[in-house]
Amino acid sequence: MTTPLPLGRPLRLGTRASPLAMAQVHMAAAALRAAHGWGVGDIEIVPVTASGDKVLDRPLAEIGGKALWTKELDQWLRDGHIDAAVHSMKDVETLRPEALKIAAMLPRADVRDTLVGAGSIAAIPAGGRLGTSSPRRAAQVKRLRPDVEIVLFRGNVATRLGRLERGEADATLLATAGLARLDMAHVGTPVEVAEMLPAPAQGAIGIEVLRNNAAVCALVGAINDSATSACVLAERALLRGLGGTCHSPIAALGQVEGNALRLRAEIIAPDGTETIAEERLLAPDRAEAEAEALGRAMLERASADLRALFTP
């Protein structure tokens, strides 16, 4: 059965213009077409070059944080240029405008990081260099290998792999899900979650809409994966409790277990010398509130230096 199109025109999906973002918006479009019986012409893909894709020589936290991935799409939603925006949930700020709503998440992909350039963290040469712009990845690597030097790597997957090829670092870490979506699953070696807990929301794709647009909310909501949504919302609630920024090394992973949700989380000193780790079973009807409280409790256990990374 075919669902009528809103406003009698194609549904417009906004996205960043990077190759990975384009692959992800096509995944969202395919899911919507399958759910509603639409044809190729029933969805229009509208790309934008995000501010975060324009400045690659400085850490994200120095130039505006995660908002640089979303602000153009947020404005296009408000102005009516697009009906929905497709995001990597890992890149969406914890606190979002009240007018916007994440109406759906696609089934989560592999949450692990993939190491490229070495067969394992232990195999990185002594005193070697690892390229990353992620405070979490940097702190986790320093915890495992204090001798490794961290080199700033920003840009899309091809840019970072190109820098690695030119010898600017001995290894780099990339999201396994992103490599798979770019048909590059053969590149590198995945690092198990037991060794490197992923970033909150890693591997998840979300679709955001205007909260008061009931028609589009319903259309997009039809493809929501409830397990992914529950886990990612709990991870994002933990971030709210921590009050973290792009400077804050945070790892978290939620997994549905029967009638509960297991949440594992870490906050880590940048040099890897301090880790506050927690693991809790959360009640499904209170998962977000309990995850937020867990974040606050983790901060209370942290040293003053580590806590300072999470407070304005």
pLDDT bucket at 1, cuts 50 / 70 / 90:
low
Q: Which residues contact 119 (CB under 8 A, 6 or more apart)?
A: 189
Backbone torsion region of residue 257, taken as left when φ is above 0, otherwise alpha when ψ lies between -120 and 50, otherwise beta = beta
Pairing of β 189-191 and β 113-116: antiparallel
pLDDT for 69: 60
Q: Are residues 95 and 10 part of one domain?
A: yes
Question: Considering only 4-8, 18-22, 118-122, 222-226, which range has the smallest mean pLDDT?
Answer: 4-8
Catalytic positions are 91
Residue at 33 is within a domain: yes
Say whether both 253 and 172 belong to one domain: no
State the average pLDDT over residues 285-301: 96
Over pLDDT 70: what percentage of the chain? 91
- Whether 54 maps to a domain, the answer reads yes
For the segment 66-105, what is each residue's pLDDT rounded down to a tens digit? 455 677 899 899 999 999 999 999 989 888 899 999 999 9
CATH number, position 244: 3.30.160.40
Same domain, residue pair 148 and 220: no
* Inter-residue contact 38 to 32 (CB < 8 Å): yes
Same domain, 102 and 118: no
* Average pLDDT of the residues of the chain: 91
Domain range enclosing 297:
236-306
For residue 123, give the H/E element and its range.
Answer: none
| SS3 call for 16 | strand
Residues 80 and 45 in one domain: yes
Residues 40, 89, single domain; the answer is yes
Q: Within a domain: residue 276?
A: yes
85 in the same domain as 15: yes
Asked whether residue 11 falls in the same domain as residue 103, the answer is yes
Q: For residue 37, give the CATH number of its domain.
A: 3.40.190.10
Structure tokens at 39: 């044809």
Claim to verify: residue 166 and residue 33 sit in the same structural domain: no
> Domains in the chain: how many in total?
3
Q: What angle do CA 123, 129, 131 make, to 5 degrees?
A: 105
DSSP label at 124? Answer: S
Average pLDDT (274-297) is 96
In a domain, 184, yes or no: yes
| Statement to judge: residues 17 and 123 lie in one domain | no
The rounded distance, in Å, linking the Cα atoms of 73 and 59 is 21
**285 found inside a domain:** yes
Higher-confidence residue of 52 and 191: namely 191
CB count, 10 Å around CB of 182? 18
Confirm whether 249 is domain-assigned: yes
Amino acid, res. 290 = E
Residue 243 lies in a domain: yes
pLDDT digits (tens, 9 = 90+) for 126-160: 999 999 999 999 999 999 999 999 999 878 899 99
Query: Are residues 89 and 34 part of one domain?
Result: yes
Residue 196 falls inside a structural domain: no
Q: Which two tokens stand for residue 8?
A: 């009698």
**CB of 229 within 8 A of CB of 206?**
no
| Residue whose pair of structure tokens reads 């990612």 in the numeric block | 232
14 and 147 fall within a common domain: no
The C-alpha atoms of residue 16 and residue 26 are separated, in whole angstroms, by: 12
**Residue 156 pLDDT:** 86
